[in-house]
Amino acid sequence: MNRLLRPQTKEGILRLKPYVGSESKLIEDSLINISSNESAFEASILARDAYINASKDLRCYPEIDAITLRKAIAKTYELNADRIICGTGSDQIIDLIALAYAGVGDEVVYSAHGFQMYPIAAHSVGAMPVAAPEQNLTSSVDAILDKVNDSTKIVFLANPNNPTGTMLTQDELNRLHSGLPSDVVFVIDAAYAEYVTQSNYEPGIELAGKEDNVIMTRTFSKIYALANLRVGWAYGPTDIIKTLDRIRPPFNVNGPAIAAAVAALGDQEYIEKSRSYNQKTLSWFMDEVKAMGLVVNPSVANFVIIHFDSNSSKNSEVAYQYLFDRGIITRRVDGYGLPDWVRVSMGTQEEMLKVRNALKEFMEQDE
């Protein structure tokens, strides 16, 4: 048999474009980090206390299947714990879904400006990611259904979507699901669900609760403010959950993370405060940015994208750098097919005032 000179990376892995993170961790004291859609506030004090308390037991392995956390999630959201799986972030669950349901020769459909992890997960298992065009920077049910063919195994939809901040209504989710063949796994990624206040929004619990091919993913990284602990979860039909559980690494959620997440769930007052703070701040910030003559894409989450004219000396790259030089770390979103936009997550009031002032200065500068 002919052997090659060195190990050969699989084709799918070579095709994938690595995840581009924020620059905030590269800087010693990034004054204002609004680059990763993290919460504006530290987690509930109950969660932080639980984490510290859990440090008394670092010697032993954690629960093999995060059962304590699954039960707490089930209680909070009135779900069945057997239909919940926890992950090292919901990113891990996205990977497990790709691993279990797609491979070489298969297609994975996602919305053109959808979350970067979907094409990465598809390529990592040798499948082909297929981007469906959007309308007005919003996922299009018809365009997604148009891309679905006999090779399609998974449809990923972030709702609301990152980085566009837009959402599909419950009716549109239902219509999308009705148009899908019943053997296509429909993944509703509701990472920002808790921020949404629109009455025609539903995170996916309803479809995932009654359909055999729908799974909803959630995270503790955003409104629960535990991104550093890497905890996510998903709710879906028993068959899918059991399948994912077969390939889930045992002990994937560590004990201190489980303890903190359980305590965080117990402080819904904190969540309510975060949600209403975000609503106020987001709407204030969008108005301020519009008043500067910039275009913002209306968002229902805890971040917003701002458009900069590519033909002007004040394009997105210059704007990003201007803020960066003043210690304000935002996010460029070229990797999402949005080269002329900059994403800004909602920070504290004090931070957002500084961001507003810096942007205003930037826009008022002479050319």
- Interface contacts to ligand PLP, rule CB under 6 A: 37, 89-91, 115, 158, 162, 189, 191, 219, 221-222, 227, 232
- Least CB distance to ligand PLP at residue 158 (A): 4
Residue nearest to ligand PLP (CB): 89
Residue with token string 């210690």: 327
- Least CB distance to ligand PLP at residue 299 (A): 12
Nearer to ligand PLP, 186 or 362 (CB): 186
Nearer to ligand PLP, 79 or 191 (CB): 191
- Least CB distance to ligand PLP at residue 243 (A): 20
How is residue 210 written in tokens?
């009654």
Nearer to ligand PLP, 158 or 180 (CB): 158
How is residue 242 written in tokens?
């059991």
Nearer to ligand PLP, 33 or 221 (CB): 221
User: What values do phi and psi take at 362, rounded to 5?
Assistant: -60, -45
Nearest-CA neighbor of 138 among 162, 167, 110?
A: 167
Nearer to ligand PLP, 36 or 354 (CB): 36
- Least CB distance to ligand PLP at residue 311 (A): 30
Do 222 and 195 touch, CB atoms closer than 8 A? yes
- Least CB distance to ligand PLP at residue 211 (A): 21
Nearer to ligand PLP, 121 or 358 (CB): 121
Classify residue 160 by its DSSP letter: S
User: What values do phi and psi take at 4, rounded to 5?
Assistant: -95, 170
- Least CB distance to ligand PLP at residue 56 (A): 26
How is residue 150 written in tokens?
């006999």
Q: Are strands 214-219 and 331-333 parallel, antiparallel or unpaired?
A: unpaired
Nearer to ligand PLP, 245 or 287 (CB): 245
Give 275: exposed, middle or buried? Use CB within 10 Å, 0-12, 13-18, 19+.
middle
Across 244-261, b (16+ Cβ under 10 Å) vs e yields beeebeeebbbbbbbbbb
Nearest-CA neighbor of 192 among 236, 141, 232?
A: 232
CB contact set of 141 (below 8 Å; sequence gap of 6+): 168, 172, 175, 176, 179
Nearer to ligand PLP, 153 or 230 (CB): 230
How is residue 140 written in tokens?
């299009």
- Least CB distance to ligand PLP at residue 193 (A): 11
- Least CB distance to ligand PLP at residue 221 (A): 3
The phi-psi region of residue 327 (left if phi > 0; otherwise alpha if psi is between -120 and 50; otherwise beta) is: left
